[in-house]
Amino acid sequence: MRKYTHILRSFGLFLGLACFAISSYAQQALPFNQYYIVPQWYNPATIGNGEATNIFLTSRFAMMDIPGRPITNGIYADGPLSNDRIGLGAYGSYHTSGVMQRVQLGGAFRYKVPFNKSNSHNLSFGISGGFHQVSINKDEVVVRDVFDPFLIGSNVQTFTGDVNAGLVYTIKDFSIGGGGNNLIESRVKYQGEGGSNVSYLLKRHYFAQMAYSIPLANRTWFIVPQVFARIVPDAPTPYEMSLFVNWQDKLWFGAAYKGNFGPLNAFGPDNTAPVSVAPSVGGRLGNQFVVGYTNEIYLSDIGSYTGLTHEIMVGYSFGKRQSKVNQNLMDELEEMVNQLEQQQALRDSLQNELMEQNTARLDSLESNGMGELTSEDIQALNDLQNRMDSVENRVSVVSTAVDSVREDLDGLVDQLIEAGVITESRVADNIDLATGKQALKGCYVVIASVIDSRYNDEAMHREYLDFGFNVIHETIRGWYHVYTVRVDTLEEALELLPKTRAEGHPDAWIRVLK
């Protein structure tokens, strides 16, 4: 391996320079660009979202033309617990820059407070913490005096801890969050011969982030603008503005503009900090593998010295993973069902009001018998008729709104079928295990399925049948489908589906027997 030459007057001077370099923003906070897919590196409130357990590996090779260039490798694993209310994560990283080396290990915890049944409106809190081992690779140091007492007697590795915290507020396609890193501001210390010490502080960083996924083409395409800023005391504020295009959560591409990520005048007298652009592309292979690549290009004078920065990310998801497209469809379904229920309840209320007013009118006429109506009676009846006309008009408007929501619901059905949320089968190919006869036509809200080769009658009773659930057997394909309820119409089933998922069956779907 090539040695990097640092000719210094003394090792103490070298330590001072190294401490200045490490105290910069880029060294203290992991500088990964793939936060569009792995925001966990910055904000612990984002860990363990979804239904799958994930592991991500990221490698960043910065400033390729500089000897001793920074290289960062990281691994992050996380997953959900308790129906996505809780998320747990663990992470590690190894960073080298010249003769400096840093190892970081830690864990993270996240708790989510949902505000609706589909979890599309929520507030998440997260905290993470661990330790750093910071060391100096003596084999890479060349000094004029190899017998420098500071070099011979110094402790060239040290340990310290860190704590990070964050929160994210999400309402459907919009999210905003913030938090802090290095909250305890621990100090990294090196001790030389004779008790001389060199140290530096891991400065506290605050960050803020905001993103909005703009849906297009029936929510199969999304345009995602994002803003990320980090506040570092006594330093310029590093910020990033990015724009990504996402197709069905299978392919995404975009770019970020990054500014103020270094000290002023670091690479020239123009009193400006470095800026860069970072084009990025990524995608999913199947439903488990994810890959991403970013090429960071420096725009200021620093670019003529540093060369490019490359970053590669690969990931894998274990177990079930709810795709973004399916989740968006379920959010849209829940919204439509809520609108339908509200409009129907309003229409029923208006119709009841109309009936009461009509009854009052008849009672008024009967109370006057066949006698002549007074002017007051006539005025009262006219007022009542006007109120009835007003209510009838409102009923008509609300009925139109109900019909419009139903049309939107019908338009969503094709997308739900394509996403596998609604499946269809011939009724003649299905047996109801409770009766041993052919199942009835209709729509079944299914919560689990077991194939013939893995079916166990005792386990089926223990886990489902003893709790009142029912089973239909699809004889052609050999599947047993556990369902909660059968209804006559697809509209009824669509109204029940979000509620069933919210009650602890997140993978529930609709099976239509025709």
User: What is the pLDDT, as a whole number, of residue 142?
Assistant: 64
Mean confidence (pLDDT) of the chain: 77
d(CA 302, CA 272): 11
Encoding tokens for residue 332? Answer: 């849209």
Sign of the torsion angle spanned by Cα atoms 12, 16, 17, 21: positive
With bands split at pLDDT 50, 70 and 90, how would you rate the model's confidence at 257?
Answer: very high
Q: What is the DSSP string of 94-112?
A: EEEETTEEEEEEEEEEEEE
Q: Which residues pair with 425 in a beta bridge?
A: 513
Residue with tokens 């402790």: 155
Q: How far is CA 454 from the centre of its chain?
A: 34
d(CA 255, CA 30): 19
373 or 94, which is more confident: 94
368-395 b/e (C-beta count within 10 Å ≥ 16 → b)? eeeeeeeeeeeeebeeeeeebeebeebb
CA distances from 395 to 155, 294, 464 (A): 82, 56, 44
User: What is the pLDDT, as a whole number, of residue 17?
Assistant: 35
Q: Which domains does the chain have, with CATH numbers?
A: 11-321 (2.40.160.40), 323-416 (1.10.287), 421-514 (no CATH)
Lowest-pLDDT choice from 5-19, 209-223, 262-276: 5-19
Eight-state DSSP code of residue 74 = E
143 or 390, which is more confident: 390
Type of residue found at 274: P
With bands split at pLDDT 50, 70 and 90, how would you rate the model's confidence at 92?
Answer: very high
Q: At what angle do helices 324-367 and 490-502 cross, to 10 degrees?
A: 120
Residue 452 CB neighbours (<10 A): 12
396 or 216, which is more confident: 216
Does position 444 have pLDDT exceeding 70, yes or no? yes
d(CA 438, CA 464): 20
d(CA 485, CA 492): 11
d(CA 480, CA 477): 9
The H-assigned helical ranges of 216-323 are 303-306
Could you tell me the pTM of the whole model?
0.63
Tens of pLDDT, residue by residue over 321-353, are 555 555 666 666 667 667 667 767 777 777 777
d(CA 151, CA 166): 40
Does position 89 have pLDDT exceeding 90, yes or no? yes
Does position 38 have pLDDT exceeding 70, yes or no? yes
What's the chain's Rg over C-alpha atoms? 32
Q: How far is CA 45 from the centre of its chain?
A: 10
CA distances from 314 to 39, 59, 132, 289, 302 (A): 14, 9, 24, 7, 29
Tens of pLDDT, residue by residue over 462-487, are 888 888 888 999 888 888 899 999 99
HEC profile of 404-443: HHHHHHHHHHHHHHHCCCEEEECHHHEEECCCCEECCCEE
Type of residue found at 7: I
d(CA 193, CA 151): 8
Local structure of 252: helix, strand or coil: strand
Tens of pLDDT, residue by residue over 409-439, are 666 777 777 777 888 888 888 999 888 889 9
For the segment 247-251, the average pLDDT, to the nearest whole number, is 85
Type of residue found at 255: A
CA distances from 160 to 132, 151, 232, 393, 460 (A): 5, 22, 20, 72, 52
Q: Which residues pair with 246 in a beta bridge?
A: 222, 252
Highest mean pLDDT among 238-252, 302-316, 383-397: 238-252
CA distances from 371 to 374, 379, 493, 513 (A): 9, 16, 56, 63
Local structure of 124: helix, strand or coil: strand
